[in-house]
């Protein structure tokens, strides 16, 4: 809105609104103000008259008192009366008669000591006079005002009475009371008030007429409103950033505000001068002002500026003839708009940098994000060079300026800058080396005149200059006082070189990126450490076994490794244990806890425990570990963090026997496994869930399943089926659909499951184990029921030898006979019926002797003088390993021997000479 329009609206709309809001109060206030002024003037006049009358009356009273006193003092015969013995008798009646005739209130004659000879109150005669008599004793005439005299407040005069020789022989005092003096004035006051009332009435009538005229002229505005209008007028006129010039009808300058004086460079005394006579006014502007024509946003060059002018005549608005002109400086407006646009672009760039840099915890990607944000809004080309240790998650060490180009972005792809991945050894004179060493940004306005930069690679730098890249800013990537690398901003399209303001913006961009790169570097280091730890704790290669065909996957989470793990553990009798577990949390602690649990499962599996008993022992172990850590941390452990326990860990433990094709499973808070039948049907066996490990108090339960050969057991952790964007039932259904292809191998099934269920960047780590079951045919197994008497041993040995010959293991016959003899004899002598013997021909030769007793054999080392006690010792020496497992019917003692051709078998054959010619040995006591 222009200034003219502002005043038009203020004078029209604003005044009318004020008048409509208060149509009568303004005039009434003016009237009351005028009446109040008249009343004040009248009161002032009355007060002045009262004061003047009081002064005149007081003066008249003093003159009268002096005159009466002097007349009485010079009365004939007064001196003779004073010489009489009792002057008071003569003077009292004379004084009273004179007082009444003179119109005074008292005449007192006294001697030189002030003793009265007369007084209006006879009882006062003979008393001392109240007043000052010393000046009168010296021959002076005095007047004074006495407050609290015998007659009240008095005005009195004291005149000396002298003898012919001039000596004062007596004093005469005459006076009036004050109330009698003012009483004279009161008699004149009604006249004064009457005249004042008439004047007040005339003033009131005149004020009313003036008030009505003012009301018409000011449109009902009061003094406060009029004052505010003119104050606002001056404030707006001189404070607005728009020049205002008013030219009269005679062509003279009537008004110019401060902005107009600045823009037109007018002298201080310009107002009142003719437009054509103003010194320094541009002729084109003078022509416009003098023409009086209407102009709208007409641009006029003046005083080195481009001024937009609007000119209108003042006649239509009720003012005197002339024109009003408003002037705007479009030159400054354009410059200011350009600066604001630049500032806005920089703020947007910094905002985008804050949002777009550091979206991942990847060092290379963060460097690329910095380059993406800066091109092309800030620079035409951006390259980021990082010290090689930073890419590995380490801090730069030493003062080496060797850096690897990590990111490169530009408006074109055919630039001659070093490519990504190149190791660059910057020379000490280059801006990159100087910035890397000092930690401060380096500005090179003109690359063609930068010898230090050219010294890096003269051929390449010449190609860069010839390409058109002419300016460079190098900013070190610095975080926590450590310089990680440098970011280079190159300019080619804009002819202007980089400036200091650009350096500040580049430093701000790089500072944000440096923090993100340092965070990514530290994450890379910790992630690499955690992954290395977890990879070392997970099985690197699954052991050889014949029970199942296995495929597995482990995928760490995007945010870091966790505690997911799996294992395949061969057990005696060609059986195999399949294990999957999950430790709550992520990071090094979760990985370390996982390693402890995996080791514990391995140790417990050597005891050949049923799944429920193994989970029970694992639960006790986790509880003890948590108690120990809570005691050491004072109870301040944080779940999943450093110092936290393992409570909440889950585990699924299964044992599959390829001889019986039975699988025993138990789980501790872990997701249910999936079972894929050979026909393609997929089900989730309803295993008792059991509590997570570490809670204690609730027993675990084992479930046994009989599996057809070729069935697939699928074990997984919750990260496979649980996702924030879907329900867990949806995940299970997707798993079911991806597994419903029985012809796939376990490896193909692993690939299909991960593709169907996992996003590109999983939030949780995933462990997946798929095992396809196998079975041992009848030709690989031989078993016999043994009569419960020692004579049955020989028959079993013969049957075993015959079966070994059929298997092509005749070389193992003698050792196997010896082992079976010792185990069967011990079972008959120290166990209970029934006794059963089984030979399993697999990767090893397993001899199993089962009986109905649960007593455990004990290996002894017999002395040289002992007759027995060497049986189990011989079994342990001739076998690769041996042990005991317990069943619902009793126990099984087993011993494994390596097959011919294995190194262990060849190493053990030297012991056979010890037993040549022996048919049997006594069994050891248990």
Give pLDDT tens digits for 731-784: 999 999 999 998 899 999 999 999 999 887 777 888 999 999 999 888 899 999
Q: CA 616 to CA 629: how far, in whole Å?
A: 20
Q: How many CB atoms lie within 10 A of CB 217?
A: 8
Q: CA 496 to CA 519: how far, in whole Å?
A: 36
Strand partners, 554: 767
Comparing 183 with 257, the larger pLDDT belongs to 257
Q: Where are the alpha helices (DSSP H) in 710-811?
A: 718-721, 728-739, 746-757, 792-807
What 3-state DSSP class applies to 742? coil
How much is the pLDDT for 653?
A: 96
Contacts of 46-53 spanning 24+ positions with Cβ under 8 A: 46/192, 46/193, 46/196, 49/192, 50/185, 50/189, 53/185, 53/188
Q: 266: pLDDT confidence band, cut at 50, 70 and 90? A: confident
Q: CA 31 to CA 205: how far, in whole Å?
A: 10
Q: CA 63 to CA 66: how far, in whole Å?
A: 5
Q: Percentage of the chain with pLDDT > 90?
A: 29
- Please give the sequence-ordered ranges of beta strands (E in DSSP) within 388-495, or none if there are none: 402-410, 423-425, 442-444, 471-479, 482-491
How much is the pLDDT for 586?
A: 74
Output the six-digit token pair for 625. Answer: 């570990």
3-state secondary structure 786-821: ECCCCCHHHHHHHHHHHHHHHHCCHHHHHHHHHHHH
Q: 15: pLDDT confidence band, cut at 50, 70 and 90? A: very low
Radius of gyration of the chain (CA): 63
Give CA separation, 138 vs 158, 165, 553, 557, in Å: 12, 14, 141, 128
Comparing 529 with 690, the larger pLDDT belongs to 690
Query: Model's pTM, two decimal places?
Result: 0.54
Q: Where is average pLDDT lowest: 325-329, 404-408, 440-444, 801-805? A: 325-329
How much is the pLDDT for 527?
A: 74
Q: What is the mean pLDDT of the chain?
A: 81
pLDDT digit string (tens) for 429-444? 999 999 998 889 999 9
Output the six-digit token pair for 348. Answer: 């947007």
**Phi then psi dihedrals of residue 596, to 5 deg:** -65, -40
Over range 810-829, report the average pLDDT: 88
Q: How many CB atoms lie within 10 A of CB 190?
A: 9
Q: Is the dihedral of CA 757, 760, 761, 765 positive or negative?
A: positive
Over range 799-815, report the average pLDDT: 90
Q: CA 100 to CA 109: how far, in whole Å?
A: 15
Q: CA 790 to CA 796: how far, in whole Å?
A: 11
pLDDT at residue 278 above 90? no
Q: What is the DSSP string of 569-610?
A: EE-STT-EEEEEEE-SSBSHHHHHHHHHHHHHHHHHHTTT--
Output the six-digit token pair for 833. Answer: 């019926």
In terms of Cα–Cα distance, which of 609, 599, 601 is closest to 575?
A: 609
How much is the pLDDT for 169?
A: 85
How much is the pLDDT for 462?
A: 93
How much is the pLDDT for 152?
A: 65
How much is the pLDDT for 250?
A: 85
In terms of Cα–Cα distance, which of 384, 380, 374 is closest to 464?
A: 380
How much is the pLDDT for 264?
A: 83
pLDDT at residue 676 above 50? yes
How much is the pLDDT for 318?
A: 60
3-state secondary structure 605-626: HCCCCCHHHHHHHHHHHHHHHH
Q: What is the DSSP string of 443-461?
A: EES-GGG-HHHHTT-HHHH
Q: 543: pLDDT confidence band, cut at 50, 70 and 90? A: confident
Q: CA 568 to CA 578: how far, in whole Å?
A: 5
How much is the pLDDT for 447?
A: 93
Ranked by mean pLDDT, the top range of 171-175, 487-491, 788-792, 900-904 is 487-491
Q: CA 247 to CA 324: how far, in whole Å?
A: 6
Q: CA 374 to CA 49: how far, in whole Å?
A: 92
Q: 918: pLDDT confidence band, cut at 50, 70 and 90? A: very low
Assess contact for 801 and 845: CB atoms under 8 A.
Answer: no
Contacts of 728-733 spanning 24+ positions with Cβ under 8 A: 731/757, 732/684
Q: Where are the alpha helices (DSSP H) in 808-918?
A: 813-830, 871-878, 903-908
Over range 617-628, report the average pLDDT: 87
pLDDT at residue 712 above 70? yes
Over range 677-688, report the average pLDDT: 92
């Amino acid at each position: 809105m222009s200034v003219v329009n502002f005043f038009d609206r203020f004078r029209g709309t604003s005044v009318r609104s004020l008048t409509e809001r208060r149509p009568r109060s303004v005039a009434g206030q003016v009237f009351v103000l005028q009446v109040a002024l008249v009343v004040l003037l009248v009161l002032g006049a009355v007060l002045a008259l009262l004061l003047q009358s009081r002064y005149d009356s007081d003066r008249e009273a003093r003159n009268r008192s002096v005159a009466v006193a002097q007349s009485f003092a010079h009365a004939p015969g007064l001196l003779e009366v004073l010489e009489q013995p009792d002057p008071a008798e003569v003077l009292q009646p004379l004084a009273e008669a004179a007082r009444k005739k003179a119109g005074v209130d008292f005449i007192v004659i006294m001697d030189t000591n002030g003793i009265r000879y007369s007084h209006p109150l006879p009882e006062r005669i003979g008393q001392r006079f109240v007043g000052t008599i010393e000046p009168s004793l010296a021959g002076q005439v005095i007047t004074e005002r006495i407050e609290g005299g015998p007659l009240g407040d008095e005005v009195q005069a004291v005149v000396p009475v002298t003898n012919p020789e001039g000596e004062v022989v007596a004093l005469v005092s005459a006076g009036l009371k004050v109330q009698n003096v003012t009483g004279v004035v009161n008699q004149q006051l009604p006249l004064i008030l009457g005249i004042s009332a008439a004047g007040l009435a005339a003033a009131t009538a005149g004020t009313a007429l003036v008030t009505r005229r003012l009301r018409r002229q000011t449109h009902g505005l009061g003094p406060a409103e009029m004052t505010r209008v003119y104050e606002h007028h001056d404030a707006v006129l001189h404070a607005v950033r728009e020049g205002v010039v008013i030219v009269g009808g005679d062509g003279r300058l009537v008004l110019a505000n401060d902005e107009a004086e600045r823009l037109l460079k007018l002298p201080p005394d310009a107002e009142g001068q003719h437009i054509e006579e103003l010194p320094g006014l541009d002729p084109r502007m003078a022509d416009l002002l003098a023409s009086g024509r209407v102009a709208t946003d007409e641009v006029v060059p003046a005083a080195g500026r481009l001024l937009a002018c609007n000119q209108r005549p003042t006649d239509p608005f009720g003012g005197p003839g002339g024109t009003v002109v408003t002037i705007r400086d479009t030159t400054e407006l354009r410059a200011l708009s350009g600066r604001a646009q630049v500032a806005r672009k920089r703020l947007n760039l910094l905002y985008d940098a804050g949002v777009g840099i550091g979206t991942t915890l990847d060092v290379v990607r963060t460097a690329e994000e910095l380059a993406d944000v800066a091109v092309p809004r800030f620079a035409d080309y951006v390259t980021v060079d990082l010290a090689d240790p930073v890419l590995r998650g380490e801090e730069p060490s030493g003062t080496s300026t060797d850096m690897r180009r990590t990111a490169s972005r530009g408006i074109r792809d055919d630039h001659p800058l070093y490519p990504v991945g190149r190791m660059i050894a910057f020379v000490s004179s280059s801006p990159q080396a100087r910035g890397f060493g000092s930690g401060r940004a380096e500005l090179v306005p003109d690359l063609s005149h930068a010898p230090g930069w050219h010294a890096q690679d003269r051929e390449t730098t010449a190609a860069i200059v010839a390409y058109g890249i002419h300016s460079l800013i190098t900013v070190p990537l610095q975080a926590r006082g450590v310089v990680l690398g440098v970011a280079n901003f190159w300019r080619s399209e804009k002819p202007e070189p980089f400036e200091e303001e650009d350096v500040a913006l580049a430093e701000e961009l790089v500072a944000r990126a440096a923090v993100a790169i340092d965070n990514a570097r530290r994450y890379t280091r910790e992630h690499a450490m955690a992954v290395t730890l977890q990879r070392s704790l997970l099985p690197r290669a699954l052991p050889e076994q014949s029970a199942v065909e296995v495929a597995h996957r482990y995928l760490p989470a995007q945010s870091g490794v966790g505690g997911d793990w799996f294992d395949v553990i061969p057990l005696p009798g060609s059986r195999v244990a399949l294990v999957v577990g999950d430790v709550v949390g992520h990071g090094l602690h979760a990985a370390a806890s996982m390693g402890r649990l995996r080791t514990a499962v391995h140790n417990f599996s050597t005891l050949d425990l049923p799944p429920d008993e193994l989970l029970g022992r694992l639960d006790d172990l986790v509880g003890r570990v948590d108690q120990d850590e809570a005691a050491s941390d004072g109870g301040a452990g944080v779940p999943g963090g450093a110092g936290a326990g393992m409570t909440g860990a889950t585990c699924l433990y299964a044992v599959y026997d390829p001889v019986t094709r039975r699988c025993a499973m138990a789980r501790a808070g872990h997701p249910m496994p999936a079972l894929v039948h050979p026909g393609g049907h997929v089900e989730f066996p309803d295993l008792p869930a059991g509590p997570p490990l570490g809670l204690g108090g609730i027993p675990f339960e084992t479930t046994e399943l009989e599996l057809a050969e070729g069935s697939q057991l699928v074990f997984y952790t919750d990260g496979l089926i649980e996702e924030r964007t879907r329900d867990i039932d949806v995940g299970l259904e997707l798993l079911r659909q991806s597994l419903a292809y029985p012809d796939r191998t376990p490896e193909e099934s692993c690939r299909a499951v991960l593709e169907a269920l996992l996003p590109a960047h999983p939030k949780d780590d995933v462990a997946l184990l798929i095992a396809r079951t196998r079975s041992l045919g009848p030709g690989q197994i031989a078993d016999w029921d043994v009569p419960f008497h020692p004579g049955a041993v020989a028959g079993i040995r013969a049957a075993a030898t015959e079966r070994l010959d059929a298997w092509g293991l005749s070389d193992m016959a003698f050792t196997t006979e010896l082992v079976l003899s010792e185990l069967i004899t011990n079972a008959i002598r120290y166990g209970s019926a029934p006794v059963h013997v089984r030979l399993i021909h697999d990767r090893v030769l397993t001899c199993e002797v089962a009986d109905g007793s649960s007593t455990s054999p004990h290996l002894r080392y017999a002395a040289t003088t002992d007759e027995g006690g060497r049986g189990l010792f011989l079994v342990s020496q001739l076998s690769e390993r041996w042990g005991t497992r317990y069943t619902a019917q009793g126990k099984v003692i087993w011993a494994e021997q390596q097959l011919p051709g294995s190194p262990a078998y060849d190493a053990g054959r030297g012991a056979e000479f010890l037993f040549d010619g022996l048919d049997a040995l006594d069994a050891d006591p248990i």
